[in-house]
Amino acid sequence: MAPAHFSTTQLGITLKGVFLLVFAISLLSCAAARQPQTQKLKVHKHLKRLNKTPVKTIQSPDGDMIDCVHISKQPAFDHPFLKDHKIQMRPNYHPEGLYDDNKVKSETNERESTLKQLWHVNGMCPEDTIPIRRTKEEDVLRASSVKRYGKKYKSTAAPRIMPKSADPDLVNESGHQHAIAYVEGDKYYGAKATMNVWEPKIQQPNEFSLSQIWILGGSFGEDLNSIEAGWQVSPDLYGDNNTRLFTYWTSDAYQATGCYNLLCSGFIQINNNIAMGASISPVSAYRNSQYDISILVWKDQKEGNWWMQFGNGYVLGYWPSFLFSYLADSASMIEWGGEVVNSEPDGQHTSTQMGSGRFPEEGFGKSSYFRNIQVVDKENNLKSPKDIGTFTEQSNCYDVQTGSNSDWGHYFYYGGPGRNPNCP
């Protein structure tokens, strides 16, 4: 066969095509190389913003680094509205009456013997500092984007509850599931509860299990205000399966505002003993010792700020009232209970546990509970809630049962194993 012959014009077109192909591949390679570098720069910039220069650093046995940051240098003060804010070092009023320093002091020894975070083993933060869990590069990289790190996802975070007028068929579109008790129909100025602490098993890293109090205001559309506090296991957020103290807030239904713990400006911490996002130890065990924590969130009606207390006397700090619209006045609904993410496709249910992973009917020592649940009224008194409702999307996966007695006041058991023969 005779060899092929190309005219100079044909050869030129062929070489031009090859050149363009090589050039295109080269551009794509450069773009691909630039992308991780740009992402890395964004992550490092974000870490620099979050991790303030510490006065002292304490390494926790679980691998966390706890930075003791001067109280005036905490992330809250990155907020433009807080540039000249004078820190309120204690609330004007406590829901049980005037704030009593002597009472808190007399309880200190008892508190310290029962309430621990793992990092306490290796030291404490000095006065005039607050403990902040250091954010690592891998923490941010686990998020869908730098911007979304430390935030709940709008499409999946909207409260499950229901004002009674809500359509129950719309409730479970989010992939989140709940077992809660709630009150509505009044103005609420805070809530309190004691809940036992567990270490539920999580099926997939992008799922979580939590138990918390919700302080809610507004409609359940895009103007929802929410303050949340409790304990959670969240591998995606923390990189492990430890049970951790956490808080969250939003003023626009988890769209642009708010975050977990101190991962954005907003919450002002005054306490040097408790680190938000740090591990709680010990935790309850099935048919064994039970360990619980108390959380109180209330509104200082003189200043308007929402305060949080952990345990019998650790007043942690406050959310300034300007962060909110509806909660600048009061809450319209309070919820207590558990929540999990069910990310399984095709209708199959996750085996992520809620609470202890046991159903409520198993009772004390086996099931998880909230006890002594209370609300704060306009006169700043802690009161037993009236007309408690309950809600769960699938009671064969996670359930809730309420009760009351003289020791535990109003209480409920809640939780479950997720996937089981009755919850496929």
Is the confidence at residue 372, as pLDDT, over 70? yes
Q: In angstroms, what CA-CA distances link 71 with 66, 87, 265? A: 14, 9, 13
Q: In angstroms, what CA-CA distances link 379 with 190, 218, 274, 317, 415? A: 11, 22, 29, 21, 34
How many percent of the chain have pLDDT more than 70?
82
**Of 133, 150, 121, 126, whose CA–CA distance to 61 is shortest?**
121
> pLDDT band for position 5 (50/70/90)?
low
To the query of whether residue 96 is one of the catalytic residues in this protein, the response is no
Among 228, 303, 362, 379, the active-site one is: 228
pLDDT for 175 equals 85
* pLDDT top residue among 13 and 330: 330
Is the confidence at residue 115, as pLDDT, over 90? no
**Of 392, 411, 393, whose CA–CA distance to 173 is shortest?**
393
Under DSSP, is residue 12 helix (H, G, I), strand (E, B) or coil? helix
Among 184, 339, 344, 362, the active-site one is: 339
Where helices occur in 78-193 by DSSP H, the ranges are 101-114, 137-141, 154-157
Tell me how far apart the alpha carbons of residues 66 and 133 are, in angstroms, rounded to a whole number. Answer: 5
Quote the mean pLDDT of the chain. 87
Spans of all domains in the chain: 56-165+174-415
pLDDT in tens, 133-170: 999 999 999 998 999 999 987 644 545 555 443 433 33
**Of 334, 336, 342, 356, whose CA–CA distance to 393 is shortest?**
342
Is the confidence at residue 103, as pLDDT, over 50? no
Element (H, E) at 66: strand 65-70
Tell me how far apart the alpha carbons of residues 359 and 347 are, in angstroms, rounded to a whole number. Answer: 21
Segment 53-62 mean pLDDT? 97
Is the confidence at residue 344, as pLDDT, over 80? yes
CA 393 from chain centre, in angstroms, equals 21
- In this structure, the strands spanning 280-281 and 116-117 are antiparallel
Under DSSP, is residue 245 helix (H, G, I), strand (E, B) or coil? strand
Segment 179-188 mean pLDDT? 97
Q: In angstroms, what CA-CA distances link 151 with 154, 176, 219, 247, 264? A: 9, 15, 20, 11, 9
Is the confidence at residue 27, as pLDDT, over 80? no
Radius of gyration of the chain (CA): 25
Tell me how far apart the alpha carbons of residues 280 and 282 are, in angstroms, rounded to a whole number. Answer: 6
Q: Are 233 and 242 in contact (CB under 8 A)?
A: yes
